[in-house]
Structures are given as C-alpha cells and as structure tokens.
Amino acid sequence: MIIKEIKWEETILVRHMVLWPDKDPEFCHVPGDEGALHFGVFIESMLVCVASVYPSKKNARLRKFATLKEFQGRGIGTKLLNYIFESLNENRNIKFWCDARESAVEFYERFGMSKEGGKFYKYNIPYYKMSKMI
C-alpha cells in the first residue's frame, strides 16, 4: 500500500464510483480542487481510496473521502486519514472538519471528531458537520 499526494483530476473516478455514481463525473469536481491537497492510496498501482483537503488559515476541510467498495473495511481509509492528520500536524491549532454522511459518523468519531449542530441533507442524503482541533 502506498499513500501519496495526487492531482485533483486523479480523484474524479473514485469519487464518482463511490460517492455519486448516479451523477455525471463532472459533478464530482469541486470548486477549489485546483488549490486543494489531494491524497490517494494505491494497492499494486491501483488507486483505491482518495481524499481531498481544502486548507485555509485556521481550518482544513476534508471533502470527497472515498474508498472503492471492494476495498472498504480493510483499514485503508483509517490509514489515509491518519496520514492526512500527520501531514497537517505542522499546522497545529487548526480546525479540521467535514460534512460527514450519517453512515460515516462512527468512523469519524473514532478519530476524536464530534458533531456540530444537527442533521442536514444534501441530495436527500443525511449529513452532520463534524470537527476537531489538531
């Protein structure tokens, strides 16, 4: 398993397949992708997991975190998120946050992230804002 920074264009296929398969691939392009940090996990040269971080002065927002279905449940996402935390650790005292699908809340709680506010919906999918200071 290799974890490394990748170009935003490399994230689109995994984002599309996992998060929004019923939408057009262009739907998975996020404004700000060009200036964000993008990470990928490769197994035998196959990109199986992606995550993007959109940093600002006091915040780092995680978006479009996705692992191919056949690779889920193997700890790959956990390793990637730990890698991201380590890479952001030099910018101490920033708020790391994301809009977490309700189905992923327990995953983020294992990293010390907490819900902020109530449930909200994007395209009929329930989400919670979650965050922690790093």
CB–CB of 36/64 below 8 Å?
no
Q: Which residues pair with 67 in a beta bridge?
A: 49
The span from the first CA to the last CA of the chain, in angstroms, equals 25
Spatial separation of the C-alpha atoms in residues 20 and 27, rounded to whole Å: 8
Spatial separation of the C-alpha atoms in residues 46 and 71, rounded to whole Å: 11
CB–CB of 54/36 below 8 Å?
yes
* 46-55/37-43 β-pairing: antiparallel
Where is 84: in which H helix or E strand? helix 76-88
Could you say which DSSP state residue 104 is in? Answer: G
Q: Which CATH class is domain 2-133?
A: alpha beta
> Would you list the domain boundaries of the chain?
2-133
> Each residue's pLDDT tens digit in the chain (134 positions)?
999 999 999 999 999 999 899 989 889 898 999 999 999 999 999 999 999 999 888 899 999 999 999 999 999 999 999 999 888 876 567 899 999 999 999 999 999 999 999 999 998 999 999 999 98
- Cα three-residue angle 1-101-14, rounded to 5 degrees: 40
Where is 51: in which H helix or E strand? strand 46-55
